[in-house]
Chains A and B, each alone.
Chain A
Amino acid sequence: MAGWTTHNGKAVALPRANVDTDQVIPARFMSASRAEGYGGYLFADLRDGDPDFPLDRHPDASVLVAGPNFGCGSSREAAVYALVDAGIRVVVAESFADIFAGNAVNNGLLPAAIPDAGAILDALGDGTASARVDLDGGTLTIDGKTYAFDLPKIWREKLVNGWDDIDLTRAHADAIAAYRKTRAKTASWAWPDGAS
């Protein structure tokens, strides 16, 4: 996965609170393989029959601004695949659900938590605005106004470097092996009994 430091794109508003991952991608689409692509399933039920759905009015948007607690509910990473495959690089909201935010970062999607996201939603209305995101500075500039977002250091590093955790962790193989040995000695009950 390629890392990134800045992004310039078009922002659009999805003025809904508590957008759960069942809304982002309904369960019936989740058996597809990653290679088949998930972009076509994004918000499938919300946009069906709604000709005014924001992403249909502005299909080239790459910054999605939504209400608080975005991504709550199911841990399905397919919700992130659907956003990424549809060209979204940044989701802006007052707050994010924990599992969604972690999944997003693992796929190069920035969950930008901004306390003033409600004001950005109001300013956007039905329209769009040009947006610039700077991961190093931790800022979103939208229509000339700049907002700071709080991003854990580890998440910034991962997004910027496009880090793959598995490679990083395998570099700690010795520490893991040593831990495993100690745990097997001090908490042998932690291994499942062979009975079945």
Chain B
Amino acid sequence: MSVTMLDKLWDAHEILTNDEGASLLWVDRHLVHEGSHHAFAKLAERDLPVAAPELTFGVADHYAPTRHRDHVDNADVAKMLDRLSRNTDAHGIRLFGLRDPRQGIVHVIGPEQGITLPGLLINCGDSHTSTHGAFGALAFGIGATQVAHVLATQTIWQTRPRSMRITVEGALPKGVTAKDIALHWIAKLGTGGATGHAVEYAGSTIRALSMEGRMTLCNLSIEGGARFGMVAPDDTTFAYLDGRPFAPKDDAWDAAVQDWRALASDAGADFDREVRIDAGDIAPTVTWGTTPEQALPITGTVPDPDSFDGARVKAAREALDYMDLVPGQKLSDIAVDQVFLGSCTNARIEDLRAAAAILKGRRAKVPGIVSPGSMLVRAQAEREGLDRIFTDAGLDWVASGCSMCVGMNGDTVPAGNRCASSTNRNFRGRQGRGARTHIMSPVMVAAAAVTGHLTDAREFL
């Protein structure tokens, strides 16, 4: 019988099933951050210990200041960072805190440290946990009640999702990235298009992606409604992980790789849903509205709300009102006030290199922030001289954290300002109250910085 990777991973973690059809699953890695305070409070209320502190890792990212780390001025931010330190200390959990040279965004440092591996079940109280599926892991975001449950039991109750395969074939055109693959399928299927499903990405295009690209793609699965995104592990995966601090070593490594090679979906495995995309049909894509499905190729124009069906007509009208755009306007004519290059979606070394290649020797027409995905990515970029390219262009080179993607640390876009952003959500107010966000790939952010308006990055390549 042919089995999907989803079922192989699920079956390997299933401790038991109950009469209601839910599975109790073993959790191999649990990642906590400042936002996990509710869960620790639930544990404290009942005086419960953490079941497996050695499988739990803490990271300061959501509230991490990106400037002036020696003294945290913002009392709310200081409180959140302090709570995380105290909670992880009290339970013997390893913490990548604000002053740790390995600190960064949880979905960047998990893989970077080799904490993330193929074949694992990984939970974190963050919807972008789907990122880790890029390694062939069963990784999904959970809420605070579930975080408390994982802390207390190292297990989670879950109903098996339906399986969905998105197969992308062919070479990506010049200037088209993993971000564009994601925005392309989400625009096609909708933000709820993959709800209830675990998405496996397959095909020659996916095989050719670097781990950074696969992480970007899996990260954005949740924006199409899929709580899980995954890619079968292969030599690209193993080469990325070999030698990472928490990855297995020597004989254990060889045994692991042997197990991991068996994870891929069997030929002939049946999926509940199949979607096929031709890579040649994908263009550099930008969002024009307030959900990730409201996205179009940069060569397009702002759509007429009446061109949609059903609830999407009103949604488009409200989005254009919020975004201050009019139908028929060329997307490449939309002027931006600032740019942001960062987030768990697109702030890894490859993203910074790609953006720097466009900014090299050029000046940005608008201000902007570059926040690397981790402090180790930051150090690597500095060794390569990328920081100089960004600062010479007039952009701010800051420390690592979730920063302006979610605005919790005080890095926000002022009301009414328009930001070209390498992040994952263009929701109303996501980057700050009244902020207008256009999401796009790092090269598109760099191109927008240079021209001061949304721009087809291919003009610079």
Residues of A with Cβ closer than 8 Å to B?
A: 15-18, 20, 22-23, 26-28, 30-31, 33-34, 45-46, 67-69, 72-78, 80, 95-99, 102-103, 106-107, 118, 152-154, 157, 165-166, 169-170, 172, 175-176, 179-180, 183, 187-193, 195-196
Contact = CB atoms under 8 A, between A and B. Distances in A.
Q: How many B residues are at the interface, by size bracket? A: 35 or more
Contacts of B310: 118
Contact of A169 (B127, B157, B252, B312): B157
Given A95-B195, A157-B20, A166-B48, A22 B143 contact: no
B114 A193 contact: yes
B245 A196 contact: yes
A4 to B, nearest CB: 17
B301 interface: no
A31 B311 contact: no
Interface stretch (B174-182, B345-353, B421-429): B421-429
A26 B456 CA distance: 32
B370 to A, nearest CB: 21
Contact of A98 (B16, B18, B227): B227
A99 B192 contact: no
Contacts of B297: none
A154 B29 CA distance: 25
Contacts of B54: 191-192
Interface of B: 12, 15-16, 18, 20-22, 24, 26, 28-29, 35, 37-38, 41, 46, 48, 54-55, 63, 76, 79-80, 94, 114-115, 117, 119-120, 125-127, 141-146, 148-149, 152-155, 157, 159, 161, 190-192, 195-196, 222, 225, 227, 245-249, 252-253, 255-256, 259, 291, 293, 310-312, 314-315, 318, 406-408, 425, 427-430, 433
Contacts of B21: 152-154
Contact of B252 (A45, A75, A189): A189
A191 B55 CA distance: 7
Contacts of B38: 33-34, 77-78
Contact of A95 (B29, B79, B192, B293): B192
Contact of B155 (A23, A27, A157, A169): A169
Contacts of A68: 192, 311
A193 B12 CA distance: 21
Contacts of A106: 143, 145-146
B197 to A, nearest CB: 9
Given A153-B20, A169-B149, A175-B15, A23 B35 contact: no
B222 to A, nearest CB: 8
A8 to B, nearest CB: 26
B315 A18 contact: yes
A73 B408 contact: no
Contacts of A31: 37, 63, 76, 79-80
Contacts of A118: 310-311
22 contacts: A15-B314, A33-B38, A33-B41, A34-B38, A34-B41, A72-B191, A73-B222, A74-B127, A74-B406, A76-B35, A77-B38, A78-B38, A99-B141, A102-B142, A103-B144, A153-B21, A154-B157, A176-B26, A176-B155, A187-B119, A189-B117, A189-B253
Contacts of A67: 311, 315
Contacts of B157: 154, 165, 169
8 residue pairs, one from A and one from B, having the closest CB atoms: A154-B20, A189-B256, A103-B143, A69-B192, A77-B143, A106-B145, A77-B144, A17-B311
